[in-house]
Amino acid sequence: MGLRDKYDISIAISAFQKGDFAAAENVCKKILSCDYSNGGANYILALIASQKGSSNLAIRYFRKAISFAPNYLNYRIALSSHYLETDKPWAAIKELEIVLYNEPNSIAAHTNIGTAFKKIGSLEQAIYHFDKACLLLRKPSAESSGNQENQLKSQQTFFVSRQSKLEHDLQQLEFLYNKYPYNKDFKKYAEKLKDILLTFSKRNKNNNLAPFSDLEYAKVSYFYNKLLHRPVINNQKSILGEHKFDINLNKKIQCHKNDIMIIDDFLSKDTLANAQQYCLESTVWFDTKNNSRYLGAYLHDGFIPDFTLGINSALKEKWGDLFAGRVLKQLWAFKYDSEGGGTAFHADDASLNINLWITPDTSCLDPENSGLTIYPVTIPDGMPFSDYNNDISRLKDLISAGSNEELKIPYKCNRAVIFRSKFIHKTSDYKFISGYRHRRINITFLFD
């Protein structure tokens, strides 16, 4: 057995994936000792250096990997990811422009360059590339095109689901067919989902995330979690509404008036109606969220309502002092079941949050307890995002160590709650009328 065989790059990859960086690094250096131009070994060393926080060393290894394998574009994409992680968006853009020149349909490149443009505040360019990536990834295919579906099977979004997710998608497809009866595909898709829902739910109890069986996958793979429909909505002139204040409600949080603001009639009537139509019709609810029976839709993955490009400038014009110098960093929406607990304790990685509800008031059975609960406790500086977004016990400890004060904002359609993103918050336990049109929908904007 020769040295190259003994120190095969697959051994380094396996060690890296297991988190054994020392073993992976040792194998890569042995490979380079007899083959200094091995792109794979330099690439693994770059990833290791990046994981260890050695940015300059990582870049040098990435550069070597690219120089030895210039046609292997994944090395440039990986380097762009490193630049994004180390807050160098312009450097990422430079690499990704080279990738897209050579491979204009690279989903990863469009996603990364969209993220880079968003970081520098070029929202229009970011949206273009995000939408391009979504259209490439989620284009529905012919029922018989198995080859494409096999390629996509490596993407978890297409072959795992929950009972609540399938129930939502079935409701949405039936809603779309009732509205657009000439589109027979909606009816066909609904029948396919209904066909597998019974077997899927029997096999997967407690709404657990689980893969489709081979038979289920064969029936739905060509349309499940694909971009089947987004309504064409004419832009309106006025995005924002009158921005009214509920005096009694704002008095309850008067001691936090510099940190929390509650605005009713946030969107204009036309924009609100458009947002409601967009969220009901658009098949962009690709993310199924834990066991709380709600779904997510995101700016980087097809959720682009018609107000997206104009909301930033409209808010700066309306609230100059509050939004001056800030840009829209992230946009998403959550759609919930008729009742439940929703999003748990968390905080967000931004400066300002806007939480907006758009489901009509007539759908809400318990408005006092169906909105947002805020704890005016700020996440400590230096606390990692993964901790304050996922570690519920630690967040509860922070609340207990603080004032332990709970601010419960009642639900109201077209009500926006603007607050400091690092405040701990959660969805209040909600109760809505059962049925697709009545599902609780909130839209979240993050500004930095």
Tell me how far CA of residue 37 lies from CA of 34, 46, 125, 302, 327, in angstroms: 9, 14, 37, 40, 43
Question: What CATH number is given to the structural domain containing 87?
Answer: 1.25.40.10
Tally of domains within the chain: 3
Residues 365 and 405 occupy one common structural domain: yes
Residues 52 and 100 occupy one common structural domain: yes
Residues 119 and 257 occupy one common structural domain: no
Residues 408 and 365 occupy one common structural domain: yes
Residues 277 and 357 occupy one common structural domain: yes
How many whole angstroms separate alpha carbon 406 and alpha carbon 400?
11
Residues 150 and 133 occupy one common structural domain: no
**What residues make up the domain containing 293?**
247-447
* 237 in any annotated domain: no
CB atoms within 10 A of CB 121: 15
* 345 in any annotated domain: yes
Q: Tens digit of pLDDT per residue, the chain (448 long)?
A: 344 445 689 999 999 999 999 999 999 999 999 899 999 999 999 999 999 999 999 999 999 999 999 999 999 999 999 999 999 999 999 999 999 999 999 999 999 999 999 999 999 999 999 999 999 999 998 775 544 444 455 688 999 999 999 999 999 999 999 999 999 999 999 999 999 999 999 998 888 899 999 999 999 999 999 999 999 887 667 999 999 988 777 777 655 656 889 999 999 999 999 999 999 999 999 999 876 789 999 999 999 999 999 999 999 999 988 998 899 999 999 999 998 887 888 888 899 999 999 999 999 999 999 999 998 888 888 777 766 677 778 888 888 777 668 889 999 999 999 999 889 898 888 999 999 999 999 999 999 9
Dihedral (Cα; 9, 11, 16, 19), 10-degree rounding: -170
Residues 17 and 101 occupy one common structural domain: yes
> Looking at 88, 117, 137, which one is the last position of a domain?
137
Residues 258 and 307 occupy one common structural domain: yes
Residues 108 and 15 occupy one common structural domain: yes
Backbone angles phi, psi at 340, to 5 degrees: 160, -160
Residue 334, SS3? strand
How many whole angstroms separate alpha carbon 343 and alpha carbon 38?
46
* 329 in any annotated domain: yes
